[in-house]
Structure 1
Amino acid sequence: MAAFAESEYRERIRRTKERMVAMGLDTLVVADPANMNYLTGYDGWSFYTPQCVVVALAEDDPLCIVRGMDRNGGLRTSFLPPDRVLGYPDGYVQASDRHPFDWIAADLKRRGLGRGRIGTEQDVYYFSPRAQVALERGLPDADFSDASLLVNWIRAVKSDAELAVMSEAARIAERSMAVAFAAIEPGVRQCDVAAKIYAAQIVGTEEFGGDYPAFVPLLPTGIGTSTPHLTWTDEPFAAETATILELAGCRHRYHCPMARSLYLGTPPEAIRATEGVVLEGLQAALDAARPGATCEEVEAAWRTVAARGGVTKESRIGYAVGLNYPPDWGEHTMSLRPGDRTVLEPNMTLHAILGIWRDDWGIEISECFKVAPNGAEPFCDFPRELFVKR
């Protein structure tokens, strides 16, 4: 069964069609698995083969089109009736002379959806140029346009039901981070700590279990903390080194990420000094994240503190977050950086992450939060500091 009530999906579809009308679209082909889930509830590890959800103004319900063997997964996880969940023949999978979107185009044409203006998601991980070519070849009477972020922007403001699920994900994130900190010791292999993090993420709590997150646990250590996106090796943790941990709890595909840093030994003064700037700057950014503020104004609050503390950071300090599948838990819409004038609205959810990476060391501390009247409300209740184990 779907993760939310049917009424939740109906409202999402209504808002999607409203935006389609504003963009002059008759039909929307959604291939991002997060957007497919958002509109129908469909949830399966099938995104490695072409699939899509089709929303047409002329039809009440979307179509969910997946590989034939995955059709029962659509019946099991989506709110759609059986006649709206389709499976294409397996001969189209990874074939050099045909493509699944050849079959999909023929089906849309048969349904009278092969004309008018069709939007496709042309900048998502799981929609290839070949898929676009197949649609255009099979539907020559249609005009195509890029609608890559149409559904993503609708996802930006969360419902109460979504916020409740993200709060559950936060409980899993807290437990996973606590497990990681308890496990990291000099001489302990990095892979053994990663295994314990994974177990905590999947086990969840006594009340509810966790999903697989869209990111693997990131835990660069030693000189590896000079860059953010390293995972683990089978080497042991060493004394007098830092480790950065970035991980998330995931519940019904909704993420609550968190980054913290740990030092085994006595932290150098440079790391301690940067910690102070990061903590003050992160709080300033959270305080600025109120309805009506822009993303760049939130980043400017951090930048003011950073300049006073002599800390520079070129990259963004945050992004929209929530529902997603590998390889990313971000929603690809707003970013906390100069030039992004997106106006924050109540119940938008973002991950503010202050990562400072130098030539041979780094530190990260973050908060996942919702926009609230008096500023950001973090989902997690976890100490915000550089953790030290001596």
Structure 2
Amino acid sequence: MDRNPFSEAEIDGRLAKLRNLLGGRNLDAAVIASPENVFYLTGLDHWGYFTPHLLVVPQEGKPVLVTRANERWTIEKRVKAAEFRSHSDSETAADVAAQVLADLGLLSKQVGLEYWTAGLSHGLALALQSKADAKWSDVSGLVDKMRRVKSAEEQVLMRRAGKMSDVAASAAIAAISDGASEQEVAAQCMSAMFRAGGHVPGFGPFIRPAARLRETHTTWGDGVYRKGEPVFIELSGCISRYHAPLGRLIHVGQIKDEDIAMAQVNAKAFDAVVDALRPGAIAREVFAAWRAVVDDAGLSDYYRHHCGYLIGVGQPPSWTGGNSVIGLRPDSDIVIETGMSFHILSWLMGTGRGDDFVSNTVLLGDGGAELLTATPAGPIVR
């Protein structure tokens, strides 16, 4: 978070590709508002995205980044591909962005805007459109699709993030025992990751007893772990906003035979997903590979909505890359491509015949599927 993680050539290539896509839609410019996409197109890695950042990308000339005036030092030091136009706290980003559009001769022109992003409030979008008389159209998802395939520079960051995930998971697992404080386990997890060179993740880690398993996005409390109750961990290391999550189920003191048996099914199902991740495959086919193993195990009535999702850039409060989850679902027609990375989850919890959970980040590289997280799958008993 102390530097721009991308080369100038990398950023220039992304902007050129975006302009080509805009040209294909007969657009003269676009206003990018998603924090993940602003980061992707500029390399601006900071915690300032809690306020709007509007990146105006014209077909010709340098992009212009509009945000609060007190971000000037950070942006001018780290962002080389865009000019900075600031607004005071008595103005809004819409006020200045509208003036930028006027200065660039884009009023009455065809301008795209990301409608579907948490980075653009409804009120700010209305204000921008009322102040700038352009011909607006929705370009939501345009940059997001560019981000699906990771470049060589991004893959380096993903691999480093995977190593941070393993460091954090190993520390958490080592700290779990009968009577261990939930807070102490979390502290060991986070401190190990930071000492190893990791950055603050988009959210998590999620570490909680099985009694609170269904509380999807809650984490540790002030209790202690007890023998016989499993502990759920799902976490991600982070390097320059890139994430590589993993998940495990930790058994405290003992494990049931039925859980051992379910872990075997789960491992087979996970491997089936990895084997199915090939260029040209369809996401629903990958899910079907996971489903087939589960069905063969006699669990055809068991329901899961996906077996993984695309992963990479993530701004708080998420590591999924925005306010949506692009999953390997039974109804998804996304085509799998080399360079994509996934958080693959094999989740068999609440089956009535035993419980197990394992997840890893998988990068589909030139040589095939590569696991970026190497923490032993288990079953893990502490």
TM-score if structure 2 supplies the norm length?
Answer: 0.93
Specify the alignment match of 1:162 in structure 2: 154
Specify the alignment match of 1:244 in structure 2: 232
Answer yes or no: is 1:321 the counterpart of 2:314: no
- How large is the Cα RMSD of the aligned pairs? 1.8
Cα 1:167/1:213, change in 2 over 3 Å:
same
Structure 1 residue runs of 4 or more that deviate by more than 4 Å after TM superposition: 359-362
SS at match of 1:330: coil
Specify the alignment match of 1:28 in structure 2: 30
Aligned counterparts of 2:216 and 2:266: Cα–Cα separation in 1: 16
Cα 1:301/1:216, change in 2 over 3 Å:
same
Q: Which runs of 5+ in 2 are unaligned?
A: none
Q: Is the 8 A contact 1:51 1:65 kept in 2?
A: yes
Q: Aligned letter for 2:17?
A: R
Q: Residue 194 of structure 1: which of 186, 209, 221 is its match?
A: 186
Aligned pairs for 1:171-210 within 5 A:
171-204=163-196, 209-210=197-198
Specify the alignment match of 1:89 in structure 2: 88
Aligned counterparts of 2:366 and 2:104: Cα–Cα separation in 1: 47
Aligned counterparts of 2:357 and 2:106: Cα–Cα separation in 1: 49
C-alpha displacement of 1:100:
2.5
Aligned counterparts of 1:322 and 1:354: Cα–Cα separation in 2: 19
Aligned pairs for 1:141-290 within 5 A:
142-204=134-196, 209-290=197-278
Q: Aligned letter for 1:66?
A: T
Q: Which runs of 5+ in 1 are unaligned?
A: 93-98
C-alpha displacement of 1:333:
6.7
Aligned counterparts of 1:382 and 1:79: Cα–Cα separation in 2: 38
SS at match of 1:91: coil
Aligned counterparts of 1:359 and 1:341: Cα–Cα separation in 2: 28
C-alpha displacement of 1:67:
0.5
Aligned counterparts of 2:214 and 2:84: Cα–Cα separation in 1: 47
Specify the alignment match of 2:112 in structure 1: 119
Answer yes or no: is 1:106 the counterpart of 2:99: yes
Q: Aligned letter for 2:121?
A: S
Aligned counterparts of 1:184 and 1:192: Cα–Cα separation in 2: 9
Specify the alignment match of 1:338 in structure 2: 330
Q: Is the 8 A contact 1:210 1:250 kept in 2?
A: yes
C-alpha displacement of 1:220:
2.3
Q: What's the CA shift string for 1:185-220, capped at 9, x where partnerless?
A: 12121112112212122222xxxx211100121012
Specify the alignment match of 1:72 in structure 2: 73
Specify the alignment match of 1:310 in structure 2: 298
Aligned counterparts of 2:306 and 2:325: Cα–Cα separation in 1: 13
Q: Residue 364 of structure 2: which of 371, 380, 384 is its match?
A: 371
Q: What's the CA shift string for 1:154-179, capped at 9, x where partnerless?
A: 01111111101111111111111000
TM-score if structure 1 supplies the norm length?
Answer: 0.91
Q: Is the 8 A contact 2:32 2:54 kept in 1?
A: yes
Specify the alignment match of 1:53 in structure 2: 55
